[in-house]
């Protein structure tokens, strides 16, 4: 124990934030006038701190094995400082490692398991999410077109950014896969006049969006279905398709078929926007130092990340062509800090929206760590956010320069920004 305590004291002295730690026996080490205080109740937590296992420390916090007195922003500075190695550094592994990962991914993503995993996360409590999301409840990376935008303004800018990239036109058939609480679906219908279909596996979101459709008088032109993307009807292809914050739930083993399904759903000359979180490392499917395991256990069961290079490879293999790729990583860091700061300012109200007792308290502690931890991850480049605009693979036409009617993507990007 003395060696562990020595490592703890050494780490405390090197932190960018002054910290005092109360040990399980009641004695204290670290700063005498600290910016933060950590009250440790379990000796295993000291080992996790000493060895830089940030994800394990997150679990310790959720399970009540230590208490934090101070801000989440400072706690994340501590988490980054105690790491012994970059959490995206991962060995490539051999063929057996790759096979095991592939088989695990297949097992985790049946239609039944995916529905259960989505409902575990998104059906936690609509009132809880409403406390810290923007009024439209857009639960994905915002787009800060101007640095002084509010979160609500940046989310509307993101919705419009996607619609502009898709070059949406009135009367087009638009599909939103994983439509959430309906932000993009309704924005596209109200501002671009499309005939819009959304799907989700969340029962809460399905009910919420259908209420909004009725209230806004959009029945007949907008619909929200409780449906798995694999069950979408391919007989009437869509002109434009968006998938926002959904492909992280697909599983690495299913990515090629996922993009092939999107291709079959896309009409000739149509466009697809795939917007999703990608891995910072080429080979890792999750963030290391236990952080990926934390998210799997408490937040997103079944979530799997992949590097943008692998995403583009699966896109090509599926018969689609990438025509525009944009990394919004810093935008997501700012978005997450907005969410985290808002939750921190409303902890008492948030607690009342969750199940009473220890289960609700655990959920709240998990989300406090999750939001701040993800903000840190995007800041550090451990994870990224890519928007990839897709179309059917080129057919070898000689008149693409003339932008014929069946070639929906212009040669220049100025149409997005004008």
**pLDDT per residue as tens digits for the range 282-306:** 876 666 656 777 777 877 776 788 9
| Same domain (yes/no): 64, 146 | no
Question: Looking at the 3D structure of the chain, how many domains does it have?
Answer: 2
Q: Which of 129, 127, 163 is nearest to 143 (CA)?
A: 163
Is the domain of 64 the same as that of 126?
Answer: no
Give me the pLDDT at residue 211, please.
97
Same domain, residue pair 308 and 391: yes
CATH number at residue 333: 3.40.50.150
- Domain end call among 82, 109, 124: 82
Is residue 376 one of the residues assigned to a domain?
A: yes
Q: Which residues contact 373 (CB under 8 A, 6 or more apart)?
A: 54, 58, 76, 79, 291, 294
Mention every residue, 6+ apart, whose C-beta is less than 8 A from residue 55: 287, 289, 290, 291, 292, 293, 294
Q: Please state, in angstroms and rounded to a whole number, the distance separating the CA atoms of residues 191 and 169.
A: 10
| Pair 61, 118 in one domain | no
Considering the domain boundaries, does residue 264 fall inside one? yes
Q: Which of 15, 184, 374, 384 is catalytic?
A: 374
| The last residue of a domain, from among 82, 105, 140 | 82
Q: Are residues 154 and 56 in the same domain?
A: no
Contacts of 86 (CB under 8 A, 6+ apart): 288, 382
Tell me: the pLDDT tens digits for 240-299?
999 999 998 888 888 999 999 999 999 998 999 999 999 988 876 666 656 777 777 877
Listed in sequence order, the residues at least 6 apart from 54 whose beta carbon sits closer than 8 Å to its beta carbon are: 79, 82, 83, 87, 289, 290, 291, 373
The verdict on 245 and 387 lying in the same domain is: yes
**How do residues 377-392 score in pLDDT, each as one tens digit?**
999 999 999 999 999 9
Residues 20 and 149 in one domain: no
Q: Same domain, yes or no, for 365 and 404?
A: yes
User: Based on the domain organization, do 107 and 55 belong to the same domain?
Assistant: no
404: in domain: yes
Do 45 and 138 belong together in one domain?
Answer: no
Same domain, 33 and 108: no
Are 153 and 236 within one domain? Answer: yes
267, part of any domain:
yes
- On whether residue 90 sits in a domain, the answer given is no
Helix 358-380 and helix 291-298, axial crossing angle in degrees, nearest 10: 140
pLDDT of residue 163 exceeding 50? yes
- The verdict on residue 70 lying in a domain is yes
DSSP assignment of 331-369: HHHHHHHHHHHHHHTTHHHHHHHS-SSHHHHHHHHHHHH
- Residues 13/32, Cβ–Cβ less than 8 Å: no
**pTM of the prediction?**
0.89
Where in the sequence is the domain holding 15, given as residue range(s)? 2-82
Active site residue 141: no
pLDDT of 400 > 80? The answer is no
The CATH number of whichever domain residue 12 belongs to comes to 3.30.1050.10
- Out of 49, 82, 115, a domain closes at 82
């Amino acid at each position: 124990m003395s060696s562990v305590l020595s490592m703890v004291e050494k780490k405390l002295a090197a932190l960018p934030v002054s910290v005092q730690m109360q040990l399980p026996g009641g004695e204290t080490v670290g700063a005498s006038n600290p910016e933060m205080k950590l009250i440790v109740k379990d000796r295993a937590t000291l080992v996790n701190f000493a060895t830089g296992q940030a994800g394990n420390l997150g679990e310790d916090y959720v399970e009540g094995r230590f208490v934090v007195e101070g801000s989440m922003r400072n706690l994340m500075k501590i988490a980054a400082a105690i790491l012994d190695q970059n959490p995206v550094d991962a060995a490539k592994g051999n063929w057996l490692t790759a096979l095991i990962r592939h088989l695990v991914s297949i097992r985790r993503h049946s239609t039944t398991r995916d529905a259960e995993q989505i409902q575990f996360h998104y059906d936690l409590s609509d009132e809880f999410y409403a406390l810290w999301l923007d009024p439209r409840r857009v639960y994905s990376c915002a787009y800060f077109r101007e640095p002084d935008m509010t979160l609500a303004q940046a989310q509307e800018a993101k919705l419009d950014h996607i619609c502009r990239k898709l070059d949406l036109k009135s009367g087009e058939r638009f599909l939103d896969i994983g439509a959430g609480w309906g932000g993009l679906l309704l924005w596209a219908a109200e501002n671009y006049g499309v005939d819009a279909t959304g799907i989700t596996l969340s029962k809460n979101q399905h009910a919420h969006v259908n209420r909004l459709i009725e209230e806004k008088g959009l029945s007949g032109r907008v619909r929200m279905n409780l449906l798995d993307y694999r069950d979408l009807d391919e007989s009437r292809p869509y002109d434009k398709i968006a998938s926002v914050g959904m492909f992280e739930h697909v599983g690495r083993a299913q990515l090629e078929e996922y993009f092939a399904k999107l291709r079959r759903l896309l009409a000739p000359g149509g466009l697809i926007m795939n917007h999703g979180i990608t891995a910072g490392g080429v080979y890792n499917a999750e963030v290391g130092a236990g952080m990926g395991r934390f998210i799997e256990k408490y937040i997103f069961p079944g979530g799997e990340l992949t590097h943008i290079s692998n995403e583009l490879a699966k896109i090509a293999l599926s018969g689609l062509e990438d025509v525009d790729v944009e990394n919004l990583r810093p935008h997501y860091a700012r978005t997450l800090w907005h969410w985290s700061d808002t939750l921190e300012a409303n902890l008492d109200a948030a607690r009342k929206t969750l199940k009473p007792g220890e289960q609700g308290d655990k959920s709240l502690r998990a989300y406090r760590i999750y939001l701040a931890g993800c903000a840190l991850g995007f800041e550090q480049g451990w994870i990224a956010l890519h928007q990839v605009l897709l179309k059917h693979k080129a057919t070898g036409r000689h008149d693409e320069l003339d932008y014929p009617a069946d070639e929906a993507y212009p040669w220049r990007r100025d149409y997005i920004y004008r």
